Amino acid sequence: MAQVIVPELAESISEGTIAQWLKQPGDYVEKGEYLVELETDKVNVELTADYSGVLKDVVKDSGDTVQVGEVIAVIDENGETAGTQAEEVKVEPVKEEQPKASAPIEEKHEKTESKSQRPIASPAARKLAREKGIDLTQVPSGDPLGRLRKHDVEAYSPNAPASKPAAPQKAPEAKPAKPASDSFDKPVERERMSRRRQTIAKRLVEVQQTAAMLTTFNEVDMTAVMDVRKRRKDKFFEQHDVRLGFMSFFTKAVIAALKKYPLLNAEIQGDELVIKKFYDIGIAVSAPEGLVVPVVRDADRKSFAQIEGAIGELAGKAKNNKLTIGDLSGGTFTITNGGVFGSLMSTPILNGPQVGILGMHKIQLRPIAIDKDTMENRPMMYIALSYDHRIVDGKEAVSFLATVKDLLEDPESLLIEG
């Protein structure tokens, strides 16, 4: 028998949650084949089998929290599949000449029954039963060994005639009273928060409780940037095989501003300020299971095309749930773009331990006074800088944001300032 153990994941991660088993008990598993999906605070990781054999016993179900080094399953390297076992079970009762064999079978059955009446069920079946509030002991199984699968739970109807004798009626007072906050007269749906969502919630609250967070606003006339993109986008794509977006302009402008105001590229460690002389820019991306912030490394050394390529690659990995711990680690400053969802203005929350985050928003035509006699409709964007007031003063924050605005309104200057 070979144990399946949760491996070392990353320096900062010591536990995870079983998201789903990709193999079920009784399935044959090849060495190197994906076995289970583990959800951590940052990413989902698919663990592979270190041995070939039959998945004999699953110790941890979907939804269970597991620690690094913990045993979560057992693989029988000499085992046979469930199908072969089922055939053997069918053949054995025919041998009436061996009455002794019946005793151990009955004894084993009694032990199984007495073990807290816990039916044999796949992790997926148990998870679905928990979500639907179904008692697995009431669900009939179509498996020769009596194992319950997910489809058995899906097909079960509590209102259908029971196949077993009705249990003795219990006194009505046995039902515990529900808390007032848990009583609803209308339909509700309960859904367990994913580990990542729980982590996001915890960290956002921690930042608000530990940082003296403040937000300052400005607005950018995007006319010049949009003009450059319009004139250069086709040739840019031909040369670099990547599209010229807004993010490279903002990343370059942020880096230039960070060089002028380095405290926004710092963090607090105890009673010390750690001012970073490198520029790993986090780009907030919406992923299927929640917001993630993959990092563009050494963004100050990258060209516009390299920045766009890196962002595109990270966004694709986020969409397909393929981000690694390394993609998400570190980061000295973050940019988030709520404008892609239509946000006109917001106050972004810091991505601790960073002390600054820039919020981009929707580009919208607004009438702007060009001079005292002229008004024009211009493509305008509100930008927001949230910062930790413990180490960044208002003057520095406002000046940082004004620098970003000036650079974007004169994008050619990014070639010099960046």
Catalytic residues: 389, 393
In the structure encoding, which two tokens stand for residue 205, read together? 């609250």
* Cα 380 to Cα 360: distance, rounded to the nearest angstrom: 11
CA distance 48 to 23: 11
CA nearest neighbour of 220 among 351, 353, 359: 359
Strand intervals (E) in 319-363: 333-337, 356-360
Residues 6+ apart with CB under 8 A from 146: 119, 120
Angle between helix axes 304-319 and 247-260 (nearest 10 degrees) is 110
Helices (H), 59-122: 82-91, 102-114
Q: Quick check: helix, strand or coil at residue 106?
A: helix
Quick one: tokens of 104? 């151990």
How are strands ordered across the β-sheet holding 28-29? 2-5, 71-76, 53-58, 28-29
Contacts of 413 (CB under 8 A, 6+ apart): 406, 407
Residues 6+ apart with CB under 8 A from 263: 273, 275, 355, 391, 392, 396
Strand partners, 398: none
Give the residue carrying structure tokens 């599209």.
Answer: 243
DSSP label at 122? -
Yes or no: say if 163 and 60 are a contact pair by the CB < 8 Å rule: no
Indicate the angle between helix axes 247-260 and 394-409, nearest 10 degrees.
Answer: 140
> Which residue has tokens 């029971």?
162
Q: Is the dihedral of CA 384, 317, 323, 258 positive or negative?
A: negative
Q: Of 205, 194, 196, 192, whose CA–CA distance to 42 is shortest?
A: 196
Give the integer Cα–Cα distance in Å for 55 and 76.
6
CA distance 235 to 221: 24
Any idea what DSSP says for residue 206? H
Query: What 3-state class would DSSP assign to 357?
Result: strand
